[in-house]
Amino acid sequence: MIKRKISVVAISLILLSALLLSACGGGGGDKSSADKLKGTWEGTRDSIGITFKFDGKGACDTEDEYGIKDTGTYEIIDDSTVIIKMSYWDQEIVYNYKIVGDNMEMDSDEPLRPSYDLTKK
């Protein structure tokens, strides 16, 4: 009788533990909620006005002050690195970014790539 009660309590505790652990495991995988770039950013590239729009799902587009538009993709690598590939570019570019408030600076380690000073709109 006592063995049976101990078995029931042990099984109940195991099931309760499994339920609690599975409830704690949710919420992963959706990077869009943590996408710091999501939104519209306006600013300059080498003194030329430019707007970046990041959709929070890996797609982006740009338009400069002359009306030249482009579409592409982006992948956030970590809190300071993003890979951007626009259709007009010959290859993807790794950018270092820094966001302070509503301001973002983006630059590449590649010397001929432009830097961007942007403000979130």
**Does residue 86 belong to any structural domain of this protein?**
yes
**Does residue 74 belong to any structural domain of this protein?**
yes
What pLDDT is attached to residue 17? 55
**Whether 76 contacts 37, CB under 8 Å:** yes
**Does residue 63 belong to any structural domain of this protein?**
yes
| Overall domain count for the chain | 1
What pLDDT is attached to residue 58? 97
**Does residue 59 belong to any structural domain of this protein?**
yes
What pLDDT is attached to residue 3? 72
**Does residue 12 belong to any structural domain of this protein?**
no
**Does residue 40 belong to any structural domain of this protein?**
yes
What pLDDT is attached to residue 10? 55
Residue pLDDT tens, the chain, 121 long: 777 777 655 565 565 455 444 444 444 444 444 699 999 999 999 889 999 999 999 999 999 999 999 999 999 999 999 999 999 998 999 999 999 999 999 999 998 889 999 999 9
**Looking only at Cα atoms, what is the longest distance across the chain?**
85
Listed in sequence order, the residues at least 6 apart from 71 whose beta carbon sits closer than 8 Å to its beta carbon are: 59, 60, 61, 86, 87
What pLDDT is attached to residue 15? 53
**Does residue 44 belong to any structural domain of this protein?**
yes
Place of tokens 């309760």: 16
- Domain range for 38: 31-120
Provide the CATH number for the domain around residue 94: 2.40.128.370
**Does residue 4 belong to any structural domain of this protein?**
no
